[in-house]
């Protein structure tokens, strides 16, 4: 019979699933594209905004002139990284995550750097995608702007719950948002480009451009170097477009056979779509003069101009929200999986290894949800404040992963290893440079948080690893059979002739022949009365009275047990304590937790075991069964009583 709590849990999270359901449904290319590329493709919803925000903050509307070239450079980098990753697909048919590739080829240290960078990256994927998705909604419905944080929080809680249920339905359902977004983006870029060619749509009037308070100089005052640095910062922020590129190379096993070929083709499609969309949006922003506003994203501005206030505009906004939620959802699959791998390698607590009833890594999902919640609350769900923390980790992973591939080719000397190594090497150098650009340009904007946190995470991973290593070494048992004869004395602390005491005595006499009842006399002169009643009871267990001049129950008991062991009367002592289990929460306030205190007193004492015999107040079933309703007693009274 499921308890009410179990029933509630099932209602929320569904029935438990057996382990054999763990096998994947394999995806065809179309579905795989939808599932694995939502993170990458959805970046176009915020990447162009970030460039314009940073550059425009310093030089105003003139920034529009720089967005297309910066985007072109990023797309070039994207193509290079894309080709580089298709090598990884070739080399790691089981899926080569940055952690695995870096650890196998470069060693544990770089592997842990990759792991730490990935963990922060996944968390930021959730925070950035959700806040950007919510921005898509608030751009369409200005009334919702004050509720931004609440909307972000609700979305993350919902995602966490859905993932605790375990997202088995994946494939088909997940294709909808991605393809809806792709369709809307094609419509936007197509129609927008057509109108641009016709030149029949006016530019967007600049109302109140969102400005960067840290750099208020205008174009006139910007020197050559400062402009270069500014564009570099814009470039660094725009690189957030590339996040998620590695997803396909991690997920090869999800593809139908031939999985490597299918994965490579899908990666090509993904890079192509992302490149076109990103360039398209940046070009349209340039052409229509779309500077992001405090309450309007570039996509929303373009949609409004190109589609008008039509259904198509709202369709674009909803599709953007949906694809960004899907992108956040991929982190809910990746973070717990990586945490599980790290836990298996003893770098994270074992709790991350346990799959829940629904086959999901529950602890990983909850951890990710909580940290992401914290981030959106601290940063008020503001994408522009979250993005500087993002991408840095991603580029560190790109670099380590590709550097690992270089080593891989040098070692394996597979066919074509030279040009493959060269290609991965080129990618590694490029992304390494971008990593440095990221650190330098974003450091003061929040990037320092990531620079501080990654080493902290690495330190923690190493500490945890050391702990488990010590532990495994310590508990390993290599001796012979340890069984031996021990003289076992059982002590039952007694405070009266009650049912809980009787239950404890039954148990005590079952587990040993040497049972001693002990009364600690806290209130002076109370022992005589009890001794008299005890002797009348005549159960064959002697009652020892221990005085307690300091009114402590514990100290005399501890001394008594120590004496017993020191005098050699017992090798092993069990203290059997009746434990009152109240029916209600407030019942706990009314009964002394003596059994707990006794347990704690002996926790560090060798050869002493404390056993609590629960007595359920108001539900004496346990006791009734264990010992003594009177009819039963009368039946057994004739039999020889075992002691």
Contact 39, 330 (CB under 8 A): yes
Q: Which stretch binds a copy of itself (CB under 8 A): 231-239, 263-271, 388-396, 484-492?
A: 484-492
- Its sign, for the CA torsion 589, 595, 599, 602, is positive
What is d(CA 96, CA 246) in angstroms, rounded to the nearest whole number? 9
Q: Which stretch binds a copy of itself (CB under 8 A): 158-166, 262-270, 291-299, 619-627?
A: 619-627
Q: Does 473 bind a copy of itself (CB under 8 A)?
A: no
Binding residue for a copy of itself, selected from 5, 11, 18, 585, defined by CB under 8 A = 18
Least distance from a copy of itself to the Cβ atom of residue 153, Å = 26
Q: Does 65 bind a copy of itself (CB under 8 A)?
A: no
Least distance from a copy of itself to the Cβ atom of residue 462, Å = 13
Binding residue for a copy of itself, selected from 53, 122, 507, 519, defined by CB under 8 A = 507
What is d(CA 208, CA 403) in angstroms, rounded to the nearest whole number? 45
Q: Which stretch binds a copy of itself (CB under 8 A): 45-53, 273-281, 413-421, 626-634?
A: 626-634
Interface size with a copy of itself, residues (CB under 8 A): 95
Least distance from a copy of itself to the Cβ atom of residue 337, Å = 16
DSSP letter for 380, please.
T
- Closest Cα to residue 44, out of 256, 320, 375? 320
Q: Residues with Cβ < 8 Å from 240, sequence gap 6 or more?
A: 43, 46, 47, 50, 128, 387, 390, 391
Place of tokens 């501890």: 558
Least distance from a copy of itself to the Cβ atom of residue 35, Å = 25
- For 353-374, give one letter per residue: b (16+ CB within 10 A) or e: bebbbbebbbbbbebbbebbbe
Binding residue for a copy of itself, selected from 142, 380, 413, 470, defined by CB under 8 A = 470
Helix H, strand E, coil C: the string for 406-448 is HHHHHHHCCCCHHHHHHHHHHHHHHHHHHHHHHHHHHHHHCHH
Q: Residues with Cβ < 8 Å from 421, sequence gap 6 or more?
A: 405, 406, 409, 410
Length of the chain counted residue by residue: 643
Least distance from a copy of itself to the Cβ atom of residue 572, Å = 6
Interface characters, 435-464, with a copy of itself (x: CB under 8 A): -----------------------------x
**What are the two backbone dihedrals, phi and then psi, of residue 139, each rounded to the nearest 5 degrees?**
-65, -35
**What are the two backbone dihedrals, phi and then psi, of residue 620, each rounded to the nearest 5 degrees?**
-80, 20
Q: Does 4 bind a copy of itself (CB under 8 A)?
A: no
- Closest Cα to residue 602, out of 545, 570, 557? 557
- For 159-170, give one letter per residue: b (16+ CB within 10 A) or e: bbebbbbbbeeb
- State which of positions 261-300 bind a copy of itself (CB under 8 A): none
Q: Does 483 bind a copy of itself (CB under 8 A)?
A: yes
Q: Tokens standing for 241?
A: 């477009």
Q: Does 512 bind a copy of itself (CB under 8 A)?
A: yes
Binding residue for a copy of itself, selected from 481, 566, 567, 638, defined by CB under 8 A = 481
Binding residue for a copy of itself, selected from 107, 154, 471, 531, defined by CB under 8 A = 471
Q: Does 628 bind a copy of itself (CB under 8 A)?
A: yes
Binding residue for a copy of itself, selected from 4, 5, 11, 20, defined by CB under 8 A = 20
Please, which residue, 414 or 469, has the CB nearer to a copy of itself? 469
Q: Tokens standing for 459?
A: 């330190």
Q: Residues with Cβ < 8 Å from 34, sequence gap 6 or more?
A: 174, 175, 177, 178, 179
What is d(CA 400, CA 98) in angstroms, rounded to the nearest whole number? 7
Q: Does 1 bind a copy of itself (CB under 8 A)?
A: no
What is d(CA 192, CA 289) in angstroms, rounded to the nearest whole number? 13
Binding residue for a copy of itself, selected from 505, 545, 570, 573, defined by CB under 8 A = 505
Pairing state between β 488-493 and 514-521: parallel
Least distance from a copy of itself to the Cβ atom of residue 334, Å = 21
Least distance from a copy of itself to the Cβ atom of residue 351, Å = 6
Least distance from a copy of itself to the Cβ atom of residue 610, Å = 8
Q: Does 466 bind a copy of itself (CB under 8 A)?
A: no
Please, which residue, 16 or 93, has the CB nearer to a copy of itself? 16
State the CB neighbour count (10 A cutoff) for residue 147: 16
Binding residue for a copy of itself, selected from 146, 202, 213, 482, defined by CB under 8 A = 482
Q: Does 616 bind a copy of itself (CB under 8 A)?
A: yes
Binding residue for a copy of itself, selected from 154, 354, 436, 452, defined by CB under 8 A = 354
Rg (CA), the chain: 34
Q: Does 585 bind a copy of itself (CB under 8 A)?
A: no
Q: How many whole angstroms from its chain centre is CA 191? A: 41
Please, which residue, 19 or 94, has the CB nearer to a copy of itself? 19
SS3 294: coil
Q: Does 143 bind a copy of itself (CB under 8 A)?
A: no
**What are the two backbone dihedrals, phi and then psi, of residue 491, each rounded to the nearest 5 degrees?**
-115, 130
Binding residue for a copy of itself, selected from 207, 257, 589, 638, defined by CB under 8 A = 589
Q: Does 503 bind a copy of itself (CB under 8 A)?
A: yes
Angle between helices 417-442 and 64-91 (to 10 degrees): 140
Binding residue for a copy of itself, selected from 1, 5, 311, 484, defined by CB under 8 A = 484
- State which of positions 219-238 bind a copy of itself (CB under 8 A): none
Interface characters, 520-559, with a copy of itself (x: CB under 8 A): ----x------------xxxxx-------xxxx-------
Q: Does 590 bind a copy of itself (CB under 8 A)?
A: yes
Least distance from a copy of itself to the Cβ atom of residue 620, Å = 7
């Amino acid at each position: 019979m499921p308890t009410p709590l179990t029933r509630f849990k099932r209602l929320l999270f569904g029935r438990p699933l057996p382990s054999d359901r763990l096998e994947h449904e394999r995806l065809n290319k179309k579905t795989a594209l939808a599932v694995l590329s939502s993170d990458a493709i959805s970046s176009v919803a915020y990447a162009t905004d970030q460039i314009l925000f940073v550059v425009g903050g310093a030089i105003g509307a003139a920034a529009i002139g720089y967005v297309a070239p910066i985007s072109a450079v990023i797309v070039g980098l994207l193509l290079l990284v894309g080709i580089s990753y298709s090598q990884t697909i070739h080399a790691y048919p089981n899926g080569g995550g940055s952690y695995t590739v870096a650890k196998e080829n470069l060693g544990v240290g770089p592997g842990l750097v990759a792991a730490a960078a990935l963990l922060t990256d996944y968390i930021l994927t959730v925070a950035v995608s959700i806040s950007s998705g919510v921005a898509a909604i608030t751009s369409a419905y200005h009334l919702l702007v004050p509720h931004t944080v609440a909307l972000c929080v609700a979305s993350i809680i919902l995602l966490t719950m859905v993932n605790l249920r375990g997202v088995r339905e994946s494939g088909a359902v997940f294709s909808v948002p991605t393809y809806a977004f792709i369709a809307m983006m094609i419509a936007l870029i197509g129609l927008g480009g057509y109108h641009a060619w016709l030149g029949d749509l006016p530019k967007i009037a600049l109302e109140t451009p969102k400005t960067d308070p840290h750099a208020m100089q205008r174009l006139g005052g910007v020197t050559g170097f400062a402009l270069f640095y500014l564009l570099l910062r814009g470039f660094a922020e725009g690189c957030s477009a590339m996040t998620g590129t590695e997803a396909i190379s991690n997920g090869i096993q999800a593809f139908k056979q031939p999985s490597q070929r299918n994965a490579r083709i899908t990666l090509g499609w993904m890079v192509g779509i992302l490149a076109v969309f990103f360039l398209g949006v940046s070009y349209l922003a340039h052409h229509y003069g779309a500077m992001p506003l405090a309450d309007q994203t570039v996509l929303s501005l373009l949609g409004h101009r190109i589609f008008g206030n039509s259904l198509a505009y709202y369709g674009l906004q909803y599709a953007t929200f949906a694809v960004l939620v899907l992108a956040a959802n991929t982190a809910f699959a990746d973070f717990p999986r990586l945490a599980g791998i790290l836990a298996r390698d003893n770098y994270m607590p074992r709790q991350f290894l346990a799959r829940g009833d629904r086959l999901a890594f529950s602890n990983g999902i909850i951890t990710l949800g909580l940290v992401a919640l914290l981030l959106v609350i601290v940063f008020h769900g503001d994408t522009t404040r979250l993005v500087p923390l993002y991408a840095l980790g991603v580029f560190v992973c790109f670099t380590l992963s590709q550097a690992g591939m270089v080593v891989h080719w040098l070692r394996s000397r597979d066919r074509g290893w030279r040009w493959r190594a060269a290609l991965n090497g080129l990618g590694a150098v490029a992304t390494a440079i971008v990593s440095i650009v990221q650190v330098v340009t974003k450091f003061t904007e929040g990037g320092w948080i990531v620079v501080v946190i990654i080493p902290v995470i690495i330190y923690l991973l190493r500490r945890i690893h050391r702990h488990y290593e010590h532990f495994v070494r310590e508990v390993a048992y290599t001796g012979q059979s340890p069984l031996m004869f021990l003289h076992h004395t059982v002590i039952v602390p007694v405070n009266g002739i009650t049912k809980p005491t009787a239950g404890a005595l039954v148990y005590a006499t079952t587990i040993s022949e040497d049972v001693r009842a002990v009364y600690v006399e806290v209130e002076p002169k109370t022992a005589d009365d009890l001794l008299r009643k005890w002797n009348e009871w005549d159960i064959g267990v002697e009652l020892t009275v221990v005085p307690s001049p300091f009114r402590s129950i514990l100290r005399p008991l501890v001394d008594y047990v120590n004496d017993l062991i020191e005098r050699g009367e017992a090798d092993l002592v069990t203290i059997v304590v009746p434990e009152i289990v109240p029916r209600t929460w407030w019942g706990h306030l009314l009964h002394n937790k003596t059994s707990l205190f006794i347990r704690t007193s002996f926790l560090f004492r060798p050869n002493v075991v404390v056993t609590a015999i629960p007595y359920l107040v108001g539900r004496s079933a346990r006791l009734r069964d264990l010992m003594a309703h009177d009819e039963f007693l009368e039946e057994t009274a004739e039999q020889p009583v075992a002691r």
